[in-house]
Structure 1
Amino acid sequence: MYTVALAEDAELGPLEPWQAEEFLAHMDRARATVDPFIPWAGISTDLDSARNTLQRYADKQATDTGRIYGIRLGGTLVGGVMYVRFDTRDGVCEIGAWTEPAGRGRGLVTAAAGRLLDYALVERGLYRAEWWNSTVNPASRAVARRLGMTLDGTMRRATEHHGERLDLEVWSMLAPEWRELRASA
C-alpha cells in the first residue's frame, strides 16, 4: 500500500474494505461530530456496514467515479478525504472530508484535500473541483477558504438530515486557478 506524508507524523493513504475494522473503530470515535455532515457515518455502525461503506468506494474506484483515503496521525486513523464524485467526462469532481476530534487543528484535512486537488486538476486533467458543506459546519467552510476556493453560492434547504432541512454551500476551484495558486506558493 502507498501513503503520502501530510506532516511529520501524519500520512494519507487509501481506505479499502479489508480495513473495515479500523474504519469502524474510527467511526465510533468520530460519529457524534461527523454524522451531521457525512451521510454514511450514521450507517457505518457495525463491521458489515463499515465494510459496505468502504466497498462502495472500492467499486467507485474500479469505475473511476470516486475514491476514499484515510488520514493517519501517529499510525491511527483520525479522518479522511474522498472524491464523492469523480466525472472524467464532464471534468468535474466533488471532494469531501471528515475528521474525529484527535485529528483537528493540525491542517491535515486541508493538506489532504490539497493532494486531491492536485490529483484531479493537475494529474488527471479535470477542470473543476467542488466542495459542498452545510452552512452549520464552519470547519468545512474554513477548509474551502484555506484551499483558496470560491464560494459559488448557497442552495437553500437543499438536504435533509435527521428531519431537518439544511442549506448547502458550494465552493469550487478551477484547474487554471489551482495551477496559479500552486505556482505562487
Structure 2
Amino acid sequence: MFTHKIDGELALKLVEMQDAERIFELTDRSRAALKEWLPWLDHTKTVEDTKNFIQSGAESFALGKSLNCAIVYQGELAGIAGFNEINEAKQTAYIGYWLDTEYQGQGIMTRVAKALTDYALTERGLNKVEIRAAVGNEKSRNIPIRLGFTEEGIIRQGEWLYDHFVDSVVYGMLKSEWRSEKGE
C-alpha cells in the first residue's frame, strides 16, 4: 500500500475501494465548485461511479501509468491528488488534483503538489513534472507558481468543460531545476 506522509497533519495514500463512499461524499458536496473547472462531474453521479474510478485507477497504477491518492488531512479524506499520467518514455508525470471546498485555502494542495513533485523527480527519478490548469482557474494556477514551476505556454481550447472549451496553461518543473531550488 502506497502511503506518503507529508507532515504532521497531511499524507497521501493510495485510493482504496473502502474510500469510495467518502470520496463520493466529497465530490457530491463540492460538485458545483468542482464543475467549474473539472470535466468529469457529470460522469460521477453515484458511489458506483466512484468505485469504477478507483478500480480504473488501481489497474493503471499496477501498470505504472498513474497514481491516484487520497489526500488525508488531520485523519480525514479531503480530496484526490496524484499523477493523472506517468509517461516513462518522456520521463514525465502529470499532476492532477482537487480538494473538497471545506478544506480549501489552508495551503493543503500546495504541500501536496510539492510532495508529489519531489516524489516524481527524486524518488521515481523522472525528469519532468507538469501541472495544467484552465487559464481562469487562479486557485489551481497559483499552486505551481508558488512552487517555482515555469509557465511553458497555453494550449488553446485545451479542455472541454460540458458546453465550452477553456484554454489550459502548462507549468513544468525539471529535475535539474528542482534540485537547485532545494539547494542540492
Give yes or no for TM over 0.5.
Answer: yes
Partner of 2:157: 157
| Two-structure CA RMSD over aligned residues (Å) | 1.6
Per the TM alignment, residue 18 of structure 1 is displaced from its structure 2 partner at its CA by 3.0
C-alpha contact 1:158 1:168 (8 A) present in aligned 2: yes
Q: Report the Cα distance in structure 1 between the residues aligned to 2:8 and 2:117, rounded to whole angstroms.
A: 21
Partner of 2:131: 131
Give the gaps of 5 or more residues in structure 2: none
Matched residue SS, 1:183: coil
Partner of 2:95: 95
C-alpha contact 2:34 2:98 (8 A) present in aligned 1: yes
C-alpha contact 2:6 2:112 (8 A) present in aligned 1: yes
C-alpha contact 1:17 1:58 (8 A) present in aligned 2: no
Q: Report the Cα distance in structure 1 between the residues aligned to 2:17 and 2:86, rounded to whole angstroms.
A: 20
Per the TM alignment, residue 7 of structure 1 is displaced from its structure 2 partner at its CA by 4.5
- Which amino acid in structure 2 is aligned with residue 145 of structure 1? I
Partner of 1:29: 29
Q: Report the Cα distance in structure 2 between the residues aligned to 1:171 and 1:30, rounded to whole angstroms.
A: 25
Q: Report the Cα distance in structure 2 between the residues aligned to 1:113 and 1:82, rounded to whole angstroms.
A: 8
Percent of counterpart pairs with the same letter?
A: 29
Per the TM alignment, residue 92 of structure 1 is displaced from its structure 2 partner at its CA by 1.0
Partner of 1:168: 168
Matched residue SS, 1:136: coil
When residues 82 and 39 of structure 1 are mapped into structure 2, their CA distance, relative to the original with a 3 A threshold, is farther
Give the gaps of 5 or more residues in structure 1: none
- Which amino acid in structure 2 is aligned with residue 157 of structure 1? Q
C-alpha contact 2:93 2:128 (8 A) present in aligned 1: yes
Matched residue SS, 1:38: coil
Deviation string 1:114-141 (CA, Å, 9 cap, x unpaired) is: 1111111111111111100001210010
- Which amino acid in structure 2 is aligned with residue 146 of structure 1? R
When residues 97 and 159 of structure 1 are mapped into structure 2, their CA distance, relative to the original with a 3 A threshold, is same
C-alpha contact 1:40 1:53 (8 A) present in aligned 2: no
Identify the range of structure 1 (163-172 vs 15-24) with the bigger mean alpha-carbon deviation: 15-24
C-alpha contact 2:23 2:79 (8 A) present in aligned 1: no
Partner of 1:115: 115
C-alpha contact 1:87 1:93 (8 A) present in aligned 2: yes
TM-score, with structure 1 as normaliser: 0.92
Partner of 2:52: 52
Matched residue SS, 1:59: helix
C-alpha contact 1:6 1:108 (8 A) present in aligned 2: no
C-alpha contact 1:13 1:71 (8 A) present in aligned 2: yes
Q: How many residues align?
A: 184
Deviation string 1:43-62 (CA, Å, 9 cap, x unpaired) is: 22211101011111111100
- Which amino acid in structure 2 is aligned with residue 17 of structure 1? M
